[in-house]
Structure 1
Amino acid sequence: MRLRLASLLAAAALALLPTTAQASVTYPDPQPITGQQIIHDPTLIRLKSGGYVAYSTGGIIGARTSKDRVHWDDAGNAFSTPPSWWYEYNATGDPWAPDLSYRAGRYWLYYAVSSWGTNHSAIGVATSPTGLPGTWTDHGKAFTSETTDTWNAIDPALIRADGRLWMSFGSYWTGIRMVELNPRTGKALEGATVHHLATRPDAPYAVEGPYIVRHGRYYYLFASYDQCCAGVNSTYKIRVGRSTAMTGPYTDSTGKPLLEGGGDLLLEGHGRYIGTGGESIFKDRGRDVLAYHYYDADDNGTPKLGLNTLSWTKNGWPRVF
């Protein structure tokens, strides 16, 4: 991403998005953290046993732990070896973009296996009694996509609502989708409808990494737009829309549907913090916390963990501080 002066960011934001969900036109920096900061596509949770764990793309689902959400330690990987079925999707058994949640007395870890530039992809699911690395039991494929499909089964994110379990997912290939899961198995219901939530009007439909949360009477869809994974040349940014129904339609604060390229700009790169995206949201002591990665321009574009608290305006839109 090109570095821009704060004044130019302010002018652009005010001119183009007068009622966006962002905190300010200059954007907040990530909250200070120490220790092992390198991460990509983070998913975090506050453990029932105390402390925090984060999983991410890299390794066999790389793990980080923290006692206070400030100092982070490398904790190895979720798995000691890749499950054998991962090799159906790439030669190295490389997983991407995990999602961590807790329900029914267990921790649930969803993740994607694929190859760059193809939608021959799968989302897998594993469970653990503690949520800690080395304790996961893999249960195989939860949902898949093939080259004949118009969606890509990567970047999973779970949400429960009204007794039902849903998974949003998607990357390029016409954008963000959603499917209902069986709460018992954690896998897609047989014959379940694949709902369409967000896309871009122009190829290659550069939107991915969805995450949905409920606040008040709305469901909020956060997603990463533009280019990931290019270090300081990344243009990743986080946009958001909302809906009164889980399956949409989602619109931004101007009323533009996310299926027509809408989405309020919540956070984008600024200063040394380039390509903010790969986001997830978790609850910590009753507050919503946004987790994401950025590429550190002061450290050769190394991907690092960004954490910011979300607040909500009177009109019900999220902002970052």
Structure 2
Amino acid sequence: MPRPTLPTPVSLTLAIVLLSVAGIAAAQPAATGARQGLLNGAADPTAVAVTDASGETVYYVAATGHGVKLLRSTDLAHWEPSGRVFKKAVPGWARRAVPGTDGVWAPDLSYHDGLYYLYYSVSTFGSQRSVIGLAVNKSLDPASDDYKWEDRGLVIASSAETTNFNAIDPALLVDEEGRWLLFWGSYWTGLKAVEIDPATGKPQEGAEIVAVAARSDRQSTAIEAAFPIFHDGYYYLFVSWDACCDGAESTYKVMVGRSRDALGPYVDAAGKPMLEGGGTLVLKSSERWRGPGHNGVLTTDKGQWMVHHTYDMEHLDSQRILQVRPLTWTKSGWPEVGEPVATP
């Protein structure tokens, strides 16, 4: 989700012409500006796989939007709406904490100990006045008797007066030692993590906030959207760099580093620490897809996929759309992604 420290101009281009081997195709202008369409599409997605009562695998995605959008699929290619987490666009407590907000950003959805945990963030564009909240549910199927979202409220807050970080873009990891760790952050001093009490889903009393990634050595502090996973002896920290939300001019990209410990230090493939601006490229813009980023990783017994958002240069009016790509690993142990599972 968007959180630059300095505003970036929105393109006023009415049409964009793409040159390709197939010829020249005009990209459709967005019906609303990129910044005005922040809650449209399926931005900042995260996914889980669920086995339903009939034994079928069903995939659910949670994404930025009014009340948090939920999408459902049985093949990762065709998605349909599956309701919202909150009836209101923003939970009342969060609207009071962050005046002027009109939607919920960057949810993180995962399953642990019989509950689905959905961390979410509420902010306004470019502001450090932000909050992270938590909602839980026993089921993701609206037809289930167990389907009922319980909002547990505030987890972490930030402001210019109280913190040096921005409390958005949460991501929960339960590491191989059984520690519950919440990652978050955007711009400012970078990405943080803290140990979570499994009983509450909130920070352990007295837990230290740990810095895990930053871009302090660079002109831009544009780093956000932490997503940690464990693979083959390493913890991998996916992050997004640069401008997320400028339509055809977006420069968002996915970077990664790894560590033997979930709290770091993370380094890239060249050995540069992520706390010093390190990061190995995983996915960047192409001729058709602009600003791919804010990814999650879906792991099942059938394989792994990266879910992320991107702008489609042929359908800019759709804003940031959901994209799913197969994720594999190189012999040296670094992630790489293939072509999209489906193309609009």
TM-score w.r.t. structure 2 length? 0.80
Deviation at 1:314? 1.6
Partner of 2:334: 317
Read off the aligned partner of 1:311 and give its amino acid letter.
T
SS in 2 for 1:315: coil
Q: Does 1:224 align with 2:240?
A: yes
Read off the aligned partner of 1:317 and give its amino acid letter.
W
**Cα separation, partners in 2 of 1:198 and 1:4, compared to 1, 3 Å:** farther
Partner of 1:14: none
Deviation at 1:90? 3.1
* Partner Cα distance (1:3, 1:218) in 2: 43
* Partner Cα distance (2:230, 2:111) in 1: 16
* Partner Cα distance (1:95, 1:158) in 2: 17
Read off the aligned partner of 1:177 and give its amino acid letter.
K
Q: Does 1:83 align with 2:58?
A: no
Check the 8 A contact 2:238/2:255 in 1, yes or no.
Answer: yes
Check the 8 A contact 2:76/2:324 in 1, yes or no.
Answer: no
Partner of 1:34: none
Partner of 2:321: 304
Partner of 2:63: 56
Q: Write out aligned runs for 1:49-128 (5 A).
A: 49=52, 50-81=57-88, 82-87=90-95, 88-128=97-137
SS in 2 for 1:275: strand
Partner of 2:190: 175
Which string of whole-angstrom CA distances, capped at 9 and with x for unpartnered residues, describes residues 181-237 of structure 1? 001110111221111111112354100001000011110000000001111111000
Unpaired stretches in structure 2, ≥5 consecutive residues: 1-10, 21-39, 339-344
Within the candidate set 248, 254, 263, 1:238 is matched to: 254
Partner of 1:13: none
Of residues 176-185 and 141-150 in structure 1, the stretch that sits farther from structure 2 once superposed is 141-150
CA RMSD of aligned residues (A): 2.1
Read off the aligned partner of 1:300 and give its amino acid letter.
L
Deviation at 1:260? 1.1
Deviation at 1:3? 10
Deviation at 1:68? 2.1
- Percent sequence identity is 40
Read off the aligned partner of 1:104 and give its amino acid letter.
D
Deviation at 1:249? 0.8
Which string of whole-angstrom CA distances, capped at 9 and with x for unpartnered residues, describes residues 245-303 of structure 1? 11111111111111111100110010211000011111122422100000011112621
**Cα separation, partners in 2 of 1:137 and 1:268, compared to 1, 3 Å:** same
* Partner Cα distance (1:160, 1:4) in 2: 44
Of residues 55-64 and 132-141 in structure 1, the stretch that sits farther from structure 2 once superposed is 132-141
Partner of 1:202: 218
Deviation at 1:318? 0.8
SS in 2 for 1:298: coil
Read off the aligned partner of 1:136 and give its amino acid letter.
W
Check the 8 A contact 1:86/1:94 in 2, yes or no.
Answer: no
Deviation at 1:38? 3.2
* Partner Cα distance (2:197, 2:270) in 1: 35
* Partner Cα distance (1:73, 1:246) in 2: 34
SS in 2 for 1:232: helix
* Partner Cα distance (1:135, 1:273) in 2: 37
Unpaired stretches in structure 1, ≥5 consecutive residues: 7-36
SS in 1 for 2:248: helix
Deviation at 1:45? 0.8
SS in 2 for 1:51: strand
* Partner Cα distance (1:203, 1:77) in 2: 38
Check the 8 A contact 1:3/1:270 in 2, yes or no.
Answer: no
SS in 2 for 1:117: coil
Read off the aligned partner of 1:39 and give its amino acid letter.
A
Which string of whole-angstrom CA distances, capped at 9 and with x for unpartnered residues, describes residues 58-100 of structure 1? 1210111112222111223111123210112133452100000
Check the 8 A contact 2:101/2:123 in 1, yes or no.
Answer: no
SS in 2 for 1:283: strand
Work out the number of aligned pairs and report it: 291
**Cα separation, partners in 2 of 1:150 and 1:5, compared to 1, 3 Å:** farther
Within the candidate set 206, 229, 234, 1:191 is matched to: 206
